[in-house]
Structure 1
Amino acid sequence: MQAIDLLVKEHDNIKRVLVVARKLCINILNTGDVDFEAFYDIIDFVRNYADNHHHGKEEDILFERMAGELEKDVEEITIAAMHSEHDFGRYFINNLEQALKAVKDGDEESKIDIIANAICYADLLNRHIFKENNIVYNYGKENLSKESLDEIGKECKVIEENAKDKGVQDKYINLIDKLESQINND
């Protein structure tokens, strides 16, 4: 599998979690109940699968190669924007975690902060994934040399194999399945 195709597949997994986050927020609106375990599972998924595993390959391999090999505008505008959106996502996840803690500590008004940050994260990532899948990745496929694409593939394969040895992919795909099952049974 080509590295960019793998990144797109990982985006599909991330989008599944975004759907869950949205449904959990709707549940708060409808019932007032916060599913703390599910939200903490989402935070775990975002930090360890989406951010460390997926964004690590994007930022450290693909984007680095694009910035070094392609036109300066790609680095200064497109890649910088993608990095910035990753940082905004981290910001929303940190705020979500703080809001969950506040609600656990008895601050009922922080439920709105749970909803706001989870929805902002989901909206940001849905738009971000669309741009990467349809613009950034295609630009990379069309403009990086075959040698660079092959090198990116080799580097990503090493990361994938190391992660597989640690059970990362299985752990987080199983977590997605669990989260989806929970929200579909509620």
Structure 2
Amino acid sequence: MYRHLLVPLDGSELATTLVSGALELACVCGARITFFTMRDDYGASDEGALVRAMAPDTFNEVAAGHANAIIAKAIAAAESYGVQCDGLVRTGSRPYELIVQVARERSCDLIYMGSHGRRGLRALLPGSQTQKVIAHASVPVLVATVETNSVGNACDAAIAIILDEHRAIAAVCNGLRGMATQLRTGAAVDLAFLDAMLHYLRNFSDELHHPKEEQYLFARLAGRSVELDDVLAVLAREHSDGAAQLAQLEERVGQCRGDATRRAAQALAADLDDFVDAQWRHLSAEEKIVLPAARRQLNEVDWQQIGDAFRLNGELSLGGERGVAFERLFARLMNQAADAASC
């Protein structure tokens, strides 16, 4: 039985499904996971060299890319499954070599990966690279059927988007939990960074994620059963409660700026823990109750409309200006969190 999986990732919708498959396999095997992603060596390019000289701050942000964000989402997903894991980011230009090297270094006994992807995964793992991993790896390679034509129905595609957004929220909540721990121990906390995480959650959750859940997912499930209606009512109320909690947290951060006492820090830490606990319970209820019920009760047309709403909801679409801004902000937050953790 396999005990340690290496799972190479990118940030595409298909990679979200790959993470879920890897976690289900890890649960069956009782295995742990190392999530891995690669970023290009931006500094080695002509553009990167120029940007490094002309705008160092811009260079650092572009060079960091979305790799830490990809890993943070996967780790958040693993926490919801109760699977032990860690994450690793490497810079390079030959994916198969890095994958084989990391598998050897981490003593992994199985590489679990997709053959192709829609976005970055195709660049990270084109068919020739997958074949090279299989040819050069000293451990078994399981190639999952997570490729462009294998997300064969609208239900799977829509749920993948919803889960990806959940994992972004959970990853930021993990960051808040870490800050609460620092506050309780008396360690210095970057309140501006804490404010940025709260700002992301308030805007992303309240403006992008929660309205789509209520208008497109919850609305289609309403009236199916009294029990489910009660759950949906509670979840909708928790959306409003969460917004109020975030406003309170932002106010508490402002108070801490003017009151640097241990008591103020402890109060903020307690509020952060309460908020994160509530968010985890909320996400768990949606994933364990609402999404399975939706799988059973909604049809392909319903799922197509839900998927379109989450993917192409006007200016908030992932391809739209505000959606791109949310992606960039999330990546920036996860890069800052990774930098802080390495200090």
| Smaller-chain TM-score bracket | 0.7 to 0.9
1:127-158 CA-to-partner distances (Å, cap 9, x unmatched) read: 11111112111101111122211221222221
Query: 1:179 and 1:106 mapped to 2: Cα distance?
Result: 25
Structure 1 residue aligned with 2:283: 129
Segments of 5+ residues of structure 2 without an aligned counterpart are 1-12, 14-156
- Whether the 8 Å contact between 2:200 and 2:330 is mirrored in structure 1 is no
Counterpart check, 1:113 vs 2:267: yes
**Pairing partner for 1:82 from 225, 235, 245:** 235
Query: 1:34 and 1:90 mapped to 2: Cα distance?
Result: 23
- Whether the 8 Å contact between 2:217 and 2:306 is mirrored in structure 1 is yes
Query: 2:312 and 2:209 mapped to 1: Cα distance?
Result: 13
Counterpart check, 1:170 vs 2:324: no
* Mapping for residues 132-171 of structure 1, pairs under 5 Å: 132-159=286-313, 162-166=317-321, 167-171=324-328
Query: 2:287 and 2:319 mapped to 1: Cα distance?
Result: 24
Query: 1:137 and 1:169 mapped to 2: Cα distance?
Result: 24
Structure 2 residue aligned with 1:181: 338
Output the aligned Cα RMSD: 2.1
Segments of 5+ residues of structure 1 without an aligned counterpart are none
- Give the greater-gyration-radius structure (CA): 2
Q: Secondary structure at the match of 2:313?
A: helix
1 or 2, which has the higher helix percentage? 1
* Mapping for residues 37-116 of structure 1, pairs under 5 Å: 37-67=192-222, 70-75=224-229, 77-106=230-259, 108=261, 109-116=263-270
- Whether the 8 Å contact between 2:221 and 2:298 is mirrored in structure 1 is yes
Query: 1:43 and 1:107 mapped to 2: Cα distance?
Result: 19
Structure 1 residue aligned with 2:190: 35
Q: Secondary structure at the match of 2:222?
A: helix
Relative CO higher for 1 or 2, CA cutoff 8 Å, sep ≥ 6? 1
Query: 1:162 and 1:131 mapped to 2: Cα distance?
Result: 25
Matching residue's letter, 1:149: W
Query: 1:137 and 1:8 mapped to 2: Cα distance?
Result: 10
- Using the aligned pairs only, state the percent identity: 21
Query: 1:114 and 1:31 mapped to 2: Cα distance?
Result: 12
* TM-aligned CA deviation for residue 72 of structure 1: 4.3
Query: 1:42 and 1:67 mapped to 2: Cα distance?
Result: 32
Q: Secondary structure at the match of 1:164?
A: coil
Q: Taking structure 2 as the reference length, what is the TM-score of the superposition?
A: 0.50
Query: 1:158 and 1:115 mapped to 2: Cα distance?
Result: 37
Structure 2 residue aligned with 1:18: 173
1 or 2, which has the higher strand percentage? 2
Matching residue's letter, 1:154: D
Q: Taking structure 1 as the reference length, what is the TM-score of the superposition?
A: 0.88
